[in-house]
């Protein structure tokens, strides 16, 4: 069954609001904790809660989706997010907010996994790429607008949480008008294969393609979770932060389609290496331009252009390497890789800010880009046909 225009619009709007909530939450709490004297390391640790929630939910989400369908899981995820955002202003305690962030991660993963599977399963083949692109752009646009809400702290500290809860409530109401569906039943070919065996095969064949999603998760969470702390400690105003972070996201949105087209023409690996190398030099240049707003703004935009498409390029690279029957497991592992990168980013970034002075934060990002680029550069790629031959040999 194909997606109706109305249903697709509702699902995309939910993804936009989810991206908005996530993009707002990372810098918002980082700024609140920094202003209250919380250490950068603890601040970074706190930012991992959302991604811990995603990892906790990942092994258990497929079975209820098949049993109950898409709509109940999306609505349950939205309900969890609404409740958590409503509770933030009630009790401003480090560990209470950590638990709320973790629960938001679980709720967000429920609605993301469900909407993504619903769109990919029911989109016609000639529109599938377009629909997924719109899905990704909606999340990225919401994530880019979210950090602007840090300005609301000057009005009322609780206002951003109430706004996020209200927008998610609107999404919940819209979902009530959509008829539920369930995914297709598992094929006979894969019915007797354990999940662990599928994941093992995917990792063996296409482990290198999991590095770009890890890199994007690391960069996204580090910039939104640790950069506000770094900025405040280096006399970079909060007004700058509220513009620089959206500039990075805007760059990733603008150049996502061109990079995808170039990867179709010249191959995923060369474009990925180009993105890593260009991103490395773009971030490195920020070390010498920290107090020049317009130059820094341009560098953040260029950095987004080069590294903002790493998740989608990694997924495409993985699709080149894997047989089709392994793609579902591959997508799950890519999501887990992204989450691990998102968890480690604020921890490493926050630790560098605490341990070192000056531009250590920049070197943490550049060092990670350099390390992750090396395996892609030197690992010999195999096509999905090669993978099938290896499997049947």
pLDDT in tens, 106-119: 998 888 878 877 87
Specify the DSSP element, H or E, that contains 297.
helix 293-307
| 305 Cβ contact list (under 8 Å, min separation 6) | 251, 252, 254, 255
| The residue count for the chain | 393
* Residue 383 banded pLDDT, cuts 50, 70, 90: low
Q: What was the pLDDT predicted at 373?
A: 93
28, 223, 224 from 23: Cα distances, Å = 9, 11, 7
Q: Is the pLDDT of residue 384 over 90?
A: no
Distance separating alpha carbons of residues 139 and 144, to the nearest angstrom: 9
pLDDT tens readout for residues 300-312: 999 998 888 888 7
Backbone angles phi, psi at 8, to 5 degrees: -60, -40
Encoded tokens for 362: 């920049």
Contact 27, 148 (CB under 8 A): no
Cβ atoms of 125 and 18 within 8 Å: the answer is no
Burial of 388 by CB count in 10 Å (0-12 exposed, 13-18 middle, 19+ buried)?
middle
Phi (first) and psi of residue 164, to 5 degrees: -60, -45
Residue 272 to residue 263: CA distance in whole angstroms: 8
How is residue 382 annotated by DSSP?
-
What pLDDT does residue 193 have? 62
Provide, rounded to the nearest whole percent, the portion of the chain with pLDDT above 70: 88
Is residue 215 within 8 A of residue 317, CB to CB? The reply is: no
Q: pLDDT band at residue 387, thresholds of 50, 70 and 90?
A: very low
Give pLDDT, residue 390: 46
Given a cut of 80, is residue 124 above it in pLDDT? no
The residue assigned the tokens 């087209």 is: 261
Residue 388 confidence (pLDDT): 46
**Residue 123, token pair as written in the block:** 């989109």
Mean pLDDT, range 285-297, rounded to an integer: 86
Q: How many C-beta atoms surround the C-beta of residue 198 within 10 A?
A: 18
Which candidate, 115, 55, 52, 103, places its Cα nearest to that of 79?
103
Angle at 26 between CA 22 and CA 27, to 5 degrees: 125
Q: Is the Cβ–Cβ distance between 286 and 296 less than 8 Å?
A: yes
> For residue 161, what are its two tokens?
């949480």
- pLDDT, average across residues 385-390: 46
Token code pair at residue 257: 């389609």
* CA separation for the pair 77, 371 (Å, rounded): 36
Q: Residue 389 — pLDDT band, cuts 50, 70, 90? A: very low
pTM of the predicted model as reported, rounded to 2 decimal places:
0.73
What would the DSSP string read from start to end of 309-364? THHHHHHHHHHHHS-GGGHHHHHHHHHHHHHHHHHHHHHHHHHHHHH--TTHHHHH
- Contact partners, residue 355, CB within 8 Å, separation at least 6: none
The torsion defined by the Cα of 55, 56, 57 and 59, in degrees rounded to 10, comes to: 80
Burial of 44 (0-12, 13-18, 19+ CB in 10 A): buried
pLDDT (average), residues 28-56: 84
In which band, very low, low, confident or very high, does the pLDDT at 200 lie, cut at 50, 70 and 90?
confident
pLDDT in tens, 215-226: 988 988 788 777
Beta carbons within 8 Å of 190's beta carbon, 6+ residues apart: 198, 325
- Per-residue pLDDT band for 187 (boundaries 50, 70, 90) equals low
Q: Which carries the bigger pLDDT value, residue 171 or residue 308?
A: 171
């Amino acid at each position: 069954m194909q997606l109706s225009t109305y249903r697709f619009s509702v699902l995309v709007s939910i993804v936009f609001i989810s991206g908005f909530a996530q993009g707002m939450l990372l810098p918002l709490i980082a700024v609140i904790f920094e202003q209250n004297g919380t250490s950068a390391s603890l601040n970074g640790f706190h930012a991992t809660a959302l991604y811990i929630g995603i990892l906790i939910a990942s092994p258990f989400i497929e079975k209820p989706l098949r049993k109950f369908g898409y709509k109940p899981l999306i609505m349950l995820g939205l309900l969890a997010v609404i409740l958590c955002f409503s509770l933030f202003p009630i009790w401003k305690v480090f560990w209470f907010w950590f638990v709320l962030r973790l629960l938001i991660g679980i709720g967000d993963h429920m609605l993301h996994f469900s909407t993504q599977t619903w769109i990919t399963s029911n989109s016609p083949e000639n529109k599938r790429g377009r629909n997924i692109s719109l899905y990704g752009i909606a999340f990225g646009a919401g994530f880019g607008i979210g950090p602007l809400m840090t300005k609301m702290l000057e009005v009322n500290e609780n206002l951003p949480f109430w706004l996020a809860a209200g927008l998610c409530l609107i999404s919940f109401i819209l979902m009530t008008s959509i008829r539920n569906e369930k995914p297709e039943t598992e094929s006979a070919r894969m019915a007797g294969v354990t999940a662990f065996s599928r994941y093992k095969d995917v990792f063996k064949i296409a482990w290198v393609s999991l590095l770009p999603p890890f890199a994007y998760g690391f960069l996204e969470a580090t910039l939104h979770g640790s950069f506000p702390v770094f900025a405040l400690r280096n006399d970079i105003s909060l007004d700058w932060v509220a513009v620089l972070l959206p500039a990075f996201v805007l760059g990733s949105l603008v150049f996502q389609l061109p990079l995808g087209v170039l990867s179709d023409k010249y191959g995923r690996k060369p474009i990925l290496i180009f993105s890593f190398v260009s991103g490395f030099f773009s971030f490195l240049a920020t070390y010498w331009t920290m107090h020049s707003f317009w130059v820094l703004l341009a560098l953040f935009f260029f950095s987004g252009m080069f590294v903002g498409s790493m998740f989608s390029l990694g997924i495409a690279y993985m699709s080149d390497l894997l047989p089709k029957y392994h793609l579902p497991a591959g997508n799950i592992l890519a999501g887990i890789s992204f989450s691990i990168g998102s968890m480690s980013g604020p921890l490493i970034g926050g630790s560098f800010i605490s341990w070192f002075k000056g531009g250590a934060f920049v070197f943490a990002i550049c060092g990670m880009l350099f390390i992750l680029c090396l395996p892609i550069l030197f690992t010999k790629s195999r096509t999905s046909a090669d993978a099938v031959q290896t499997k049947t040999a």
